[in-house]
Structure 1
Amino acid sequence: MRTRRLSLGTVFAIPAALFVLGLTGLVGALLADGAWDGIGAALVATAVAAVVWARLRGPSRPRP
């Protein structure tokens, strides 16, 4: 069986993006009022949405 070698950038690209979105949402919601509260909640919810999407998608299957 042939395995693919993945770089660190490939492995951590999505988690890093989710971290940046969540951190931006938290800081924005804490520092500003009004529209930033809704934007911050939406940005923080992206991590939750990613987990729900991954759970609904199911386990990945190896490709032949």
Structure 2
Amino acid sequence: MRGAAFWRTFAMPSAIGLLGCIGLVSALTGDGWRDALSWAALGTPTAVLGWAWGHKRK
């Protein structure tokens, strides 16, 4: 059960961090489709942050 609780807590932050890393690497290594990938990958954490701020728990 400990492993399940760990992944329940850290799965989404890990995925957001991985997306950020993918976006940064793709932005630094190429042009064309990699630019589009970097925009999408770096825009997703920003959109999630905006959504979280708009839907704060009470």
TM-score bracket, normalised by the shorter chain, equals 0.7 to 0.9
Give me the TM-score of the superposition, normalised by structure 2. Answer: 0.82
After the TM superposition, list the runs of 4 or more consecutive aligned residues in structure 1 that deviate by more than 6 angstroms: none
Question: How many angstroms apart in 2 are the aligned matches of 1:44 and 1:22?
Answer: 5
5 Å-filtered alignment, 1:43-58, equals 43-58=41-56
5 Å-filtered alignment, 1:1-64, equals 7-59=5-57, 61=58
Give the structure with the higher percent helix.
2
SS at match of 2:41: helix
Q: What is the aligned-residue identity percentage? A: 35
RMSD: 1.5
Residue aligning to 1:3: none
- Give the number of equivalent residue pairs: 55
State the Cα distance separating 1:8 from its structure 2 match. 1.0
> Unpaired segments of 5 or more residues in structure 1?
1-5
> Unpaired segments of 5 or more residues in structure 2?
none
More relative contact order, 1 or 2 (CA 8 Å, 6+ apart): 2
Give me the TM-score of the superposition, normalised by structure 1. Answer: 0.76
